[in-house]
Structure 1
Amino acid sequence: GMAGFQVTFPDDITSWNTFVLGQDEKMRGGVGKAHTRAFKKLMAQLTVPRFLVEGDQVDVVGKAVNFTKDTLQIQARFLSGDTVLKTRAGEISSAWVEKLNIVAPPAGDSLELSYRLNLGEYEDGEIRKIPIYRKGIEETTGVFLVAEKDTTLQLSFDPDLGPVTVFAQQNALEVLKKDLRFLRRYPYGCNEQTASRLTGLLLEKQAAKWTGEPFDGEPEIIRAIVRLKKSQNPDGSWGWWSGGRANVWMTTYVLRALYEARLEGYKTSAFNKGVIFLTNQVHLYKKTDLLNVLRLFSDIGQNFDYQPFIAQLDTTVTGLYERFALLDIRQARGLPMTLDSLGKYQKRTLLGGVYWNEESYDWYENSIQTTLLAYKIYKRAGREDMTRKIRQYFLEKRNLGWRNTFETARILAAILPDLDFSEKPTELHINGTRVTRFPHQARIFSESVELEKSGGGPLFLTAYQQFHNPDPMPDSSYFKIESHWEQRGRKTDVLEKSDLATLVVRVEVKQTAEYAMIEVPVPAGCSYASKPNFRRFPEVYREYFRDRTAVFCERLPVGTHEFRIELEPRFSGQFTLNPAKVEQMYFPVFFGRNALRRVNINE
């Protein structure tokens, strides 16, 4: 016999597989298969770049395809939203291709383009949304202040940079939520940043419990732990990036984050594997590496004979950070120690904050890392009088945000559980206007701002200007960065469409930099020809984004270094190439950039 049925396919070009299963009365079975190609008689295709920078001029491509054997009379239209930009009517036997030159509008959410075909009542089309990015860079300048006592502040701003935004908040948690969001949304994903993100998410979960608010970061916590497990080296160590050479500091930092997760009930075998690695290697380490391992072991309660290693360090440590690290270990393990040296070296800010060591860009011997150790020691000793003053210092140092993800995560982990989130009656006058309810935000159209605070509770004040710099000047104070194009084996200023091209970036390093990132924008008219991830020195990792490539170097020594990005010019037109930039990721005030440029791509 025969069985049959009718089916309506979706209105697109697709291949469909049909399977028939049969069985007779003797239980013998069989399978029949058929392959059906469904297609439309007329199809529209629209090809556009994945993004544009405002002011870019580009030729977008519309294509009409006739799948029948007949010649058809059709109409074609390019549209922006509902606005018709171009029309064409004519006969099509197989296909036609047409172009439309557009200019990217000022930056916004996106530009919606469509290409539509009509054959009588039959219509087909494609819609594409193109993100529009700004030309140049966004800059913010301003201050963050903590006013605990009655005080009057006089602030001055540049009137050419636009209005001043003043934001006043009583609740410290609401202030620090911005820093938690910074950790959560940070765009890069090396092992340090993943561990810092994990720490931030765990703190955010705790804060949600304190306030009774919902927490939506559970899947992100799991993803961060899984990512750290996958990036662990076979021997149990971690490098800066997945597959990188073992780094003792990175290994201890990741394990600290995994331990914090473990305390919240998130367990992974990567933690045990990492601790075993350090236990087997600890006898090889000296000074700072050894201190980091011993501090980790002490904090996680590792059963370990600390005394011989402490005796070894007693004779070699010299810096204030190293001496405080030894005090921390001695105190935690119940060994003889005294707080006298903390009082001897402490310093004070004008607003009453207490800190130790000098402000510097040394990885360990700086005021942030040393003061974090002092905070931990005083907290363990029950000295709330000192921990309160240290928290004041960290909040003063916050400005518009701490210097990097590492410092942000460690400061938040230290102080957030100890902050007083109660609100006391407080009054603020902004250029004479009285404010008693917080949070409060005001826009001031004046170059001078007077803030007068009175009342019992601390007030967290931010005053800043945000502005767009459409044509930033080159800066070669710390790094000199230059770039050029190569195509068909030679340098060029104009690219030819469809021929592979290389964007060559040269970085001149004046002083050795650690943990550096080179961020190289790519023009909207190009796509990546390939996405290699080089592991040759000094490069350790690359991340490819729609509009830029980020190259990471664990160490960038003095000299000139070259980086190459392989691209394919796919769209003709004129495109903006925003400035390339190199910076030390954890101390971004050390940076260099080149000038904004235009790139022509010919047909």
Structure 2
Amino acid sequence: MDIDLKFDSGNVGDERKQNVQIKSNSMQEFFWKVKPDTENPAAKLTFGARSKADKNLADIVTLQIPVKNFGFERKLSYAAEGPKTFDVKLAPDSHREKSQITLSLSPAITGSLPSAMKYLINYPYGCTEQTTSTIVPAIIAKLNPDLYGDALKDKNTDDILQKGVKRLESQQQSDGGWTWWGRDNSNPFVSAYVLEYLLLAQKSGTKVNAYILNQAKSYLLLDKYYDSSQEKKFSNEEIISKNYGLALLGQTSTNKLLPVFPGLTPDLLSLLVMSNYLNGDTNPQTNGLNALILMAREQGNALFWEAGTKINFGSRDASTALAIRAILLTNGDRELAAKGARFLTRNRQSDYWSNTFATAQVLRALTEFAKSTEEQTPAYSYAVTIDGKQIAGGTVSDPKQSIKDINIPAENIKSSGSKIAVTKNGSGQIYSTLTVNELRTDKNSKAENNGLTVKREYVNEKNPQFGLGVGDTALVKITVGGLKTEENYAVIQDELPSGMIPINESFENEQYGNMSFNSNQVTEREITENGIILSLYQIPAGEKTYTYRARVVSEGTFLTPPGVASLMYAPEISGSSNVQKINIAKKAERAPEVGIIGQKQILAAAVILIVLTVVIFMVIIRVIRKKQTPPQTPNDN
């Protein structure tokens, strides 16, 4: 028979194999060298086999695959209140046609939130807090259709909520509580957070298992817990979270009014204020509201509250948002809430706030603030310019008016950088969010260090002295360093070259004798289409290497995008590896030892050089001393 392979998006070397003979009940493998040359999201590989003796005996199989040019995304966002000029400069290697720049404008504070809502919904990681935070935008949008009618129109919010609630139900511990990754003892702070949004999801129309809620109630009613078989009491901070969760469940008869414990952080004090109020204490002196107000810090005509602890995902943004909610719930001074909202809108540096938890809290706080007060009725015209040339404009007369997003072609940005200005003429407020999505294409991109260093290597698991060949298992080693002190909560996101696929070790047929590498550091492994996401509960100071496995499936030379590491709750602390070129052979071959020999030679040469330097130094010292020694007086005898 004749066998051939056709490819509609590239070239196939020796595409036809003629006069192939295959015996009955046997099998043969055939290989072709394929070189893609056209980008195509639905490229087709067509395999054909035709009998030489009978033209009616033939078969064709078509396989559809995406063919993409090399590239990796980098995203930046900027937010502002009032007239603003954004300085935008794209990287020299940015693909101008595929990079996107979007400017969103709104006359109301809630109109600036959809980009943050989409950020949370699209967040790729899945610890308990992040799973909860992911469903917050969908809940808020469903409960406030008048404010967010079109904000998530391209998202299936019902599906998002159903999947999120199901995942949270599966993450519940046997005692009824939740923890960060389900590995340690249940955590009252995390448990109260999950419970709050399960209740709100239920209020929005999503079905929540009553048994899950009852189990959570039982956990929150516990007076003690066990840690390593030792009975322990909850701390004051944990009692506050438990009390807040019970208050949300309406357990006023069994719940207690709490005093303002000394040393509380603002986020926990806010929870204490809200739980005391829900339990019937409306006195700001005794329910903690006055103490919370005294903790506020001024920043011009804005206010903020300091961050809580790292273990509770603390940040100024989260504390300020929780304080706003406490003030609004207890009918406190609206002006204080307004100053807090002003801080949050001004200090947003991206399409999110400090982290996922803070972003969820801010979305909730600003939504409640918008519902509790009406912003000034706008009456103004606005204009958007690039380097002085107007590209958009309009008039605004209603605080609920929707302004269509302005898509700015990346080709309009000068190589030296451009200024995108938002101006207005008239009364009322304008909020803006500029999002820049760059597709970087530099095949020689260097590693980047923003507080973290990232190095990556691929090792043949069976024999590290060999290179990689088709059928091998590659051990992907990612070394992260740069921290001076241990930090909580980090994430590593890595993509494989096209010649490899990630191994999902949760499948029984993929488990190994030494299955989990670094299992005490990696708390979750999420297999993606092209790689993996590793979530870390802690990341130590110094350097640490994390590993995962990949199967080698294709021969060739491939490029791999940078691996990226960051702290989850301080994403500005991050780093990425360099772009790498990976050679995969049909069969693994012993790696050349030139590099190893060279290293030994360099080491030997260094030792010899040090010895020679010491000898020469000693000779010089001896000569100098000899010259400095005064001549002896001749002996008269």
Task: Give identity over the alignment, percent.
Answer: 16
Displacement of 1:273 in angstroms is 0.1
The partner residue of 2:284 within 317, 332, 337 is: 337
Residue identity in the other structure for 1:424: P
Displacement of 1:318 in angstroms is 4.5
Indicate whether 1:451 and 2:382 are aligned.
no
Displacement of 1:379 in angstroms is 0.7
Partners in 1 of 2:471 and 2:556 — Cα distance?
13
The partner residue of 1:600 within 580, 583, 588 is: 583
The partner residue of 1:404 within 355, 362, 383 is: 355
For residue 519 of structure 1, what is the aligned residue in structure 2? 493
| Residues 337 and 105 of structure 1, relative CA distance in 2, 3 Å threshold | farther
Partners in 2 of 1:277 and 1:503 — Cα distance?
41
Displacement of 1:531 in angstroms is 1.5
Partners in 2 of 1:159 and 1:234 — Cα distance?
51
Partners in 1 of 2:78 and 2:114 — Cα distance?
18
The partner residue of 2:366 within 415, 418, 427 is: 415
For residue 275 of structure 1, what is the aligned residue in structure 2? 217
Bigger mean CA deviation after superposition, 85-94 or 408-417 = 85-94
The partner residue of 2:118 within 178, 181, 185 is: 181
For residue 89 of structure 2, what is the aligned residue in structure 1? 158
Partners in 2 of 1:343 and 1:357 — Cα distance?
12
Are the equivalent residues in 1 in contact too, given 2:3–2:20 (CA < 8 A)?
A: no
Residue identity in the other structure for 2:222: N
For residue 473 of structure 1, what is the aligned residue in structure 2? 446
Task: Describe how 1:105-254 pairs up with structure 2 within 5 A.
Answer: 105=37, 109-118=41-50, 120=55, 123-132=58-67, 135-147=70-82, 151=83, 153-158=84-89, 166-170=103-107, 172-208=109-145, 216-242=156-182, 245-254=185-194
The partner residue of 1:356 within 305, 310, 324 is: 305
**What SS does structure 1 have at the residue aligned with 2:456?**
strand
Residue identity in the other structure for 2:198: L
Residue identity in the other structure for 1:597: Q
Partners in 2 of 1:565 and 1:128 — Cα distance?
28
Indicate whether 1:286 and 2:235 are aligned.
yes
Are the equivalent residues in 1 in contact too, given 2:311–2:488 (CA < 8 A)?
A: no
Task: Describe how 1:312-327 pairs up with structure 2 within 5 A.
Answer: 314=261, 316-327=262-273
Residue identity in the other structure for 1:454: N
**What SS does structure 1 have at the residue aligned with 2:457?**
strand
Indicate whether 1:425 and 2:379 are aligned.
yes
- Unmatched segments (≥5 aa) in structure 1: 1-71
Displacement of 1:264 in angstroms is 3.4
Indicate whether 1:91 and 2:22 are aligned.
no
Are the equivalent residues in 2 in contact too, given 1:180–1:204 (CA < 8 A)?
A: no
Partners in 2 of 1:449 and 1:212 — Cα distance?
28
**What SS does structure 1 have at the residue aligned with 2:328?**
helix
For residue 368 of structure 1, what is the aligned residue in structure 2? 317
Partners in 2 of 1:303 and 1:343 — Cα distance?
25
Partners in 2 of 1:372 and 1:102 — Cα distance?
55
| Residues 428 and 105 of structure 1, relative CA distance in 2, 3 Å threshold | farther
Task: Describe how 1:502-581 pairs up with structure 2 within 5 A.
Answer: 502-508=475-481, 509-529=483-503, 531-532=505-506, 534=516, 536-581=519-564
Give the total of aligned pairs. Answer: 523
Deviations 1:313-372 (CA, angstroms, capped at 9, x unpaired): 62x42544444444444444343433544554434556x443222699784653212212
Are the equivalent residues in 2 in contact too, given 1:518–1:581 (CA < 8 A)?
A: yes
Partners in 1 of 2:455 and 2:147 — Cα distance?
50
| Residues 455 and 584 of structure 1, relative CA distance in 2, 3 Å threshold | same
Bigger mean CA deviation after superposition, 80-89 or 382-391 = 80-89
For residue 49 of structure 1, what is the aligned residue in structure 2? none
Are the equivalent residues in 2 in contact too, given 1:294–1:329 (CA < 8 A)?
A: yes
**What SS does structure 2 have at the residue aligned with 1:373?**
helix
Q: Which has the higher strand share?
A: 1
- Unmatched segments (≥5 aa) in structure 2: 225-231, 396-402, 507-514, 587-637
For residue 296 of structure 2, what is the aligned residue in structure 1? 346
Bigger mean CA deviation after superposition, 355-364 or 281-290 = 355-364
Partners in 1 of 2:375 and 2:404 — Cα distance?
13
Partners in 2 of 1:590 and 1:208 — Cα distance?
36
Residue identity in the other structure for 2:8: S
Are the equivalent residues in 2 in contact too, given 1:167–1:461 (CA < 8 A)?
A: yes
Displacement of 1:560 in angstroms is 4.0
| Residues 174 and 337 of structure 1, relative CA distance in 2, 3 Å threshold | closer
Partners in 2 of 1:390 and 1:550 — Cα distance?
35
| Residues 573 and 422 of structure 1, relative CA distance in 2, 3 Å threshold | farther
The partner residue of 2:394 within 436, 448, 453 is: 436
